[in-house]
Amino acid sequence: MMYSHTYQEKAFDFFASFIRNVLNVDGRYVTMVQSVINDAKSLATNEKDHFSVDRKAYDLIVYLAEKDSDFFKHLDTSHLTQEQYQYILELLTEQQEMIFA
């Protein structure tokens, strides 16, 4: 399963870099990041299931929704703060550390 491990690693790396750009007030990545966060919230609140979330970001969405479902259940995705983006980045950083362990 080396391919899937590498694929997941790249997906998490790219998304983490997109969040870093959003944190640095780079608006080009907000829409893509917002889409993943919206799907993670929808999965955590059971508005969507595993078959209806974005397939391209499936691993990210499922990881985020399962890692801290309470956070995503109560998240107001229309008004994300810098602290919330930072927390999501920390969740991803934890995953990257697990991959390299």
- In the numeric block, the tokens 């919230």 are attached to 41
Amino acid at 94: E
What mean pLDDT comes out for the span 59-75? 96
pLDDT tens, position by position, 16-66: 999 999 999 888 999 999 999 999 999 999 999 999 999 999 999 999 999
Q: At what angle do helices 2-23 and 30-44 cross, to 10 degrees?
A: 120
- This prediction's pTM: 0.86
What mean pLDDT comes out for the span 71-88? 95
